[in-house]
Amino acid sequence: MNNENFDLENMRQQMTTLKNKLNQQEIISDRLVRRSMKNEVNTIARRYYIIMAVGLFMVPYGYWCFVILGGLSIFFWIVTSIFMLVCAGATYYTLRKINDPNMMNRNLVEASRRVASAKKFEANWLFFGIPAVVVWFAWFMYEAYQIHGGALSNGFFWGGCIGGIIGAICGLSLNFRTQRQFQEIIDQIEDLTEYDK
């Protein structure tokens, strides 16, 4: 009888030790996932800072490139500058939703809501951004074609066309990558919060 009590107590101690180890692993796993999500958010934030800097840089650069170098109208440059500033502003608006260094250390449901809001805004932005870029690009081609007397051999015209295509490919791939990263963060948060229930 005494031997059975000893075995039973020994099993309880082993179960307690095992439970403590599992709890410790859960805490470590939770920290690793939160750190991974924070790294993803930081990567997106760095990308947004670069996009905002490019948008602001395009205002003076656009004047030199379009007006001085290419001979396009001042009105085209003004509209381009406004469009660049709107893009930088929209990027800043999205960045504010996710740019909290402690976001992943707090309530994950709130973090998920903020990331989902940023993801939705960026996806909806394409409904404005793509048509605006198409109109802008058509305007650019028209002005470049008119200024150089319809000479399709002009390097400025073809350089703009090639640059526009490369820019569209880069912009869409950045958007898809950011959307995928947002979704990965949301999925990781859902996994963590589901596990905690």
Residue 39 has pLDDT above 60, yes or no: yes
Q: What is the pLDDT of residue 15?
A: 67
**Confidence band, pLDDT 50/70/90 cuts, at residue 154:** low
Neighbours of 111 (CB within 10 A): 24
Burial level of 141, CB count in 10 A (0-12/13-18/19+)? middle
Tell me what the pLDDT averaged over the chain comes to.
Answer: 81
Secondary structure class of 153 (helix, strand, coil): coil
DSSP 49-86: HHHHHHHHHHHHHHIIIIIIIT---HHHHHHHHHHHHH
Q: How far apart are CA 23 and CA 1, in angstroms?
A: 33
Decide: 189 and 108 in contact? Cβ < 8 Å: yes
Decide: 143 and 73 in contact? Cβ < 8 Å: yes
Higher pLDDT, 26 or 174: 174
Residue 84 has pLDDT above 90, yes or no: yes
Decide: 88 and 52 in contact? Cβ < 8 Å: yes
Q: What is the pLDDT of residue 147?
A: 78
Q: What is the pLDDT of residue 151?
A: 56
Taking Cα atoms as reference points, which of 148, 150, 86, 95 lies closest to residue 117?
95
> Residues 6 or more apart from 26 whose CB is under 8 A from it?
195
Q: What is the pLDDT of residue 86?
A: 94
Q: How far apart are CA 54 and CA 62, in angstroms?
A: 11
Residue 195 has pLDDT above 60, yes or no: no
Higher pLDDT, 30 or 114: 114
Taking Cα atoms as reference points, which of 170, 168, 44, 182 lies closest to residue 120?
182
Q: What is the pLDDT of residue 168?
A: 87
pTM (two decimals): 0.76
**Confidence band, pLDDT 50/70/90 cuts, at residue 20:** low
Higher pLDDT, 176 or 4: 176
Residue 50 has pLDDT above 90, yes or no: yes
Report the pLDDT averaged over residues 1-20. 63
- The pLDDT > 90 percentage for the chain reads 34
In the chain, where are the structural domains located? 35-196
Q: What is the pLDDT of residue 121?
A: 93
Q: What is the pLDDT of residue 59?
A: 93
Report the pLDDT averaged over residues 100-108. 73
Report, in angstroms and rounded to the nearest whole number, the Rg of the chain calculated over CA atoms.
Answer: 27
Q: What is the pLDDT of residue 5?
A: 60
